[in-house]
Amino acid sequence: MAIEFTKYHGLGNDFILIDNRHQSAPVLTPQDAERFCHRNFGIGADGVIFVLPGVGETDYSMRIFNSDGSEPEMCGNGIRCFTQFVAELDGDRAKGRYRVHTLAGVITPQRQTDGRVKVDMGQPRLLAGEIPTTLAAETEKVVDRPLEVGDQTWSVTCVSMGNPHCVTFVDDADAIPLAQLGPKFERHPAFPQRINTEFIEVKSSNTVKMRVWERGAGATLACGTGACASVVAGVLTQRCDRQTTVELPGGLLEIEWSPENGRVYMTGAAERVFAGRLG
């Protein structure tokens, strides 16, 4: 079966985008997605994103398979790429603002005049039962709680942006052995659905540096939901402002946790790389 695709990246977090509007289920299996994402034997990507018909009053639905075939609830960099892709598909009918159904709920991205995309990521979920994690009672927050990983005790703050995140603040993000620590955090027994892990170095009250190990994708150049979760964690622990720039290996994201409505807004780039056909 020949599959047409377009590849996009959001700060180096790259995705294969597939027009799946003709049916309500992805045209690929998780195993197909894993093969497509392979950087030696496939197209190469951190995940495959499908544009499906909308549900209810939404314009479209978004589904994503990670490079290991698992399916996350949502992806912040991915939805910015999704937005630019559907605008490309819509052509003259393209909207400035879309309502997108995801497994994490309805997300509302808006295309900006400077080419970036601003996304209303909704309100963060902070209770242990919402993450989920066993580090606290289900109705309690997990803020600066101890977590033993390897031979070290880490102080972690957990946030769900529709998908689970474990944020730990460090003196030097570049010094973290991500390939060794990332899998241990991801599959720690305290996180029954596995976890995305962010290591955050605070450079100033409104600038942080982030390295990330993504659940199902490993080390990536950027993670939009992780950047949002990290700023939320920084505010909860009084380490950063509600408007903070997050420096990722792939570039910058502007994050705001609004004090008025409690919603998190993410603004960043999403760029087309190339299109092709496989199979």
| pLDDT over 90 (residue 80) | yes
Q: Roughly what angle, to the nearest 10 degrees, separates helices 76-90 and 224-236? A: 140
Mean pLDDT of 200-205: 98
| pLDDT at position 187 | 98
Percentage of residues of the chain with pLDDT beyond 90: 98
DSSP state letter for 222? -
| pLDDT at position 81 | 98
Instruction: Give tens-digit pLDDT for 149-160.
Output: 989 999 999 999
CB 234 within 8 A of CB 200: yes
CB contact set of 69 (below 8 Å; sequence gap of 6+): 30, 31, 33, 34, 216
| pLDDT at position 278 | 82
CB 101 within 8 A of CB 64: no
The average confidence (pLDDT) of the chain is 97
| pLDDT over 80 (residue 279) | no
Residue 9 CB neighbour total at 10 angstroms: 22
Active site residues: 75, 223
- All domains of the chain in start order, with CATH: 3-122+269-278 (3.10.310.10), 128-262 (3.10.310.10)
Whether the model clears a pTM of 0.85, i.e. scores above it, the answer is yes
CA 150 from centre of chain? 25
Residue 2 binned pLDDT confidence (cut-offs 50, 70, 90): confident
| pLDDT over 90 (residue 52) | yes
| pLDDT at position 174 | 97
| pLDDT at position 246 | 98
